[in-house]
Amino acid sequence: MSDKHYQNYHSIIFDYMRQANVQSICVSEDFNSSVEALSLKEKFFKDSDLFRVFVGIHPQFAKVSSDMRLFEGLFQSKLDFIDGIGEIGLDPTYANLDPDNTLERQKIVFEKMLHLAETNNKPVSLHSRRSVNEIMEILPSYKIRNAVFHWYDGNKSNLKRINDKGYFVSFGPYLLYSSDKQTLLKEADINLILVETDGPVKYKNCFEGALTSPSLVVSIVYFASVLLKKSIDDLTEILYMNSTRFMN
């Protein structure tokens, strides 16, 4: 919700969340989006748990050294409004695109984010594209309350490693048309799955590039219930309990 694509739709989306009693997590990617997410929380949901805020520095922006200094100050000053750390992680794609944004630099920022999460007992949302092995080498050395490998896109063996450590994986709207993601969902520990939209990503096929909103969660849960051969009520209860444990 802190992304500029949502600026003209806040009132519509927030009204839907209140009327449907949908709790959402607004995940940040840098200092500015963290500030915006916290501002939305204070402006629209100051006395409500429907809007949760995760702040963090995405690996795409790890090279911006000023962000880290500003971020740490923001984190301490707004700690009471912060529910978790994210989106954080590693991604060699960005190192290939920008020689200044090396994996070494990304790891420094990533470990600083994990230290904040450990010290303040916060869950984390992880970006792990092409880097699950590297993240799994680092993550267990921190006492992280809970972690989710958001938009999990790895293989089955790594999925088992992740679940065996008690970490969550999340699935988004692509589940409705991606056979690979459908297979991964079936392989995942049902007690360690979460659902997400990853807005403002626009999805193809049945979604026709529409702007992502929390309302899409209903479609994801329904389709997942079909894949897992559960009633929608049963899966909704499982996902609610999973989310509660993840957020503690």
The DSSP line for 137-184 is HHGGGS--S-EEETT--S-HHHHHHHHHTT-EEEE-GGGGT-HHHHHH
How far apart are the C-alpha atoms of 198 and 87, rounded to whole Å?
11
How is residue 54 written in tokens?
Answer: 């995760």
C-alpha closest to that of 123 among 160, 168, 159:
168
Among candidates 3, 72, 2, which has minimal Cα distance to 43?
A: 2
Cα–chain center distance at 46: 21
Q: Is 115 annotated as a binding residue?
A: no
Instruction: Compute the residue count for the chain.
Output: 248
Q: Is the peptide bond before 200 cis (omega within 30 degrees of 0)?
A: yes
**What single string gives the DSSP state of each residue in 191-228?**
GGEEE---TT----GGGTTPPP-TTHHHHHHHHHHHHT
Ramachandran region of residue 117, left (φ > 0), alpha (ψ -120 to 50) or beta? alpha
* Annotated binding-site residue? 10: no
Beta bridge partners of 55: 85
Is 198 among the annotated ligand-binding positions?
A: yes
Structure tokens at 248: 């503690």
Q: Is 150 annotated as a binding residue?
A: yes
Q: Annotated binding residues, as ranges? A: 87, 127, 150, 198
Q: Which residues are annotated as a binding site for a divalent metal cation?
A: 87, 127, 150, 198
